[in-house]
Structure 1
Amino acid sequence: MTTKDERLSFLEEMKDVRRIKQPNRAEVKTPKDLTPGHLERQRSAVAKAVKDNNPLTSDMVEPLTAHDVLTWQRPGIQHGVFRKLRLGQYPIEARLDLHRMTVEEARREVFSFVGDCVRYGLRSVIILHGKGERNPDGIAQLKSYLAKWLPELDDVMAFHSAQKHHGGTGAVYVMVRKSDRDKQHNRELHGRR
């Protein structure tokens, strides 16, 4: 409890203090003028096109029909390995379905899918592209582009149209290269450098 002298002393010390008439809030206003830094960031964002790391192009391709067989292999792929792929004897570790996609959507999906397969160590996969039988011109558009794109990807070692029970000429088996991690594991396992 304060005494009378303490209270008088306090009031004497506070006699020149005035009450603040404005509310006890900071005034925050958005500047109407853009700063030089803001203008530079804005200019840079507009000027820089988003870099597309996808090497696949949507240029014109040789048109393929529903019954055309897709087949390709890189030099150095053993005949027995390719034969096994062609006959669908490798287990399918992942699948990508391109049905109802535009060419641009398929381009992005194929590039991303093959990259993911390498990253996760998947070697034998299937891509369902459809036959294009319903197209009035009889051209299998996605199939035609896929035949061009797959050899352009360094991670694709070989591909072949699927067996009938996996979609026939409406799908393709794809052999993906081993990741560096898997190659190293094999070297350690088999004692080679």
Structure 2
Amino acid sequence: MKNRNRKDRNRKTQSPLLKPGDEELFLSAMEDVKRQSDPRKQGHYSQPPASKNILPRKIDVSKSPTLMRPQKKITPLAAGRSIDLDRRTLERLRRGHLRPEARLDLHGMTQDQAYSSLMSFIEASQACGKRCVIVITGRGRTMDGGGILRKKTPGWLNSPTIRSRVLAFATAKPRDGGVGALYVLLRRAR
């Protein structure tokens, strides 16, 4: 029984990738190698490199793109319509052929929370180079004629700070939330 255990142990320690003699060759190559002492035991810690105090440069808020007034008059958008977009791309957006690259769910938010979330989401998505995003508003209560966020979101998308970033928006297909969601096509970041 003891012989059998030794054979099993030998099988476990030898790698199938090692050839006979590889271990001896490795040990002979490592004969003159000395183990380094552990610097943590001696109390010699290497200090991390001194970090440069990098502060973002001051930005003139009056020239910030989100606060700048657009040069030309911006026409308000209606769901499924656009002035600055070719018909084929608009049709692809309406039919849900442009797959959303990011998603924002406004369920359970107050109007103020939803508006600020929408603003920062649109800004961040455009900065990341995303073209099509989906905003889920929820359907709301059908007795009331639909939810308040569902009614307010198209108006928010037409607000000057957001409209300058949006090319078009359209009601989502049922697989993506139907009337409780909007596809939003963003302008390319400049």
- Normalised by the size of structure 2, how large is the TM-score? 0.56
Whole-angstrom distance in 1 between the partners of 2:118 and 2:109: 11
- SS of the aligned residue for 2:183 comes to strand
Amino acid corresponding to residue 124 of structure 2 in structure 1? D
Amino acid corresponding to residue 131 of structure 2 in structure 1? R
Contact 2:80–2:90, Cα closer than 8 Å, also in 1:
no
1:137 aligns with 2:144: yes
- Quote the offset at 1:96 in angstroms: 0.1
Structure with larger Rg: 1
Gaps of 5+ in 2: 1-65, 69-77
The aligned residue for residue 153 of structure 2 is 146
The aligned residue for residue 100 of structure 1 is 108
- Quote the offset at 1:81 in angstroms: 0.5
1:177 aligns with 2:184: no
Gaps of 5+ in 1: 1-52, 56-69, 181-193
- Normalised by the size of structure 1, how large is the TM-score? 0.55
The aligned residue for residue 128 of structure 1 is 136
* Residue 176 of structure 2, aligned match among 163, 166, 182: 166
The aligned residue for residue 87 of structure 1 is 95
- SS of the aligned residue for 2:158 comes to helix
**Identity of matched residues, %:** 33
TM superposition outliers: structure 1 runs of 4+ over 6 Å: none
Contact 2:84–2:167, Cα closer than 8 Å, also in 1:
no
Contact 1:54–1:108, Cα closer than 8 Å, also in 2:
no
Q: Which has the higher contact order (CA 8 A, sep 6+)?
A: 1
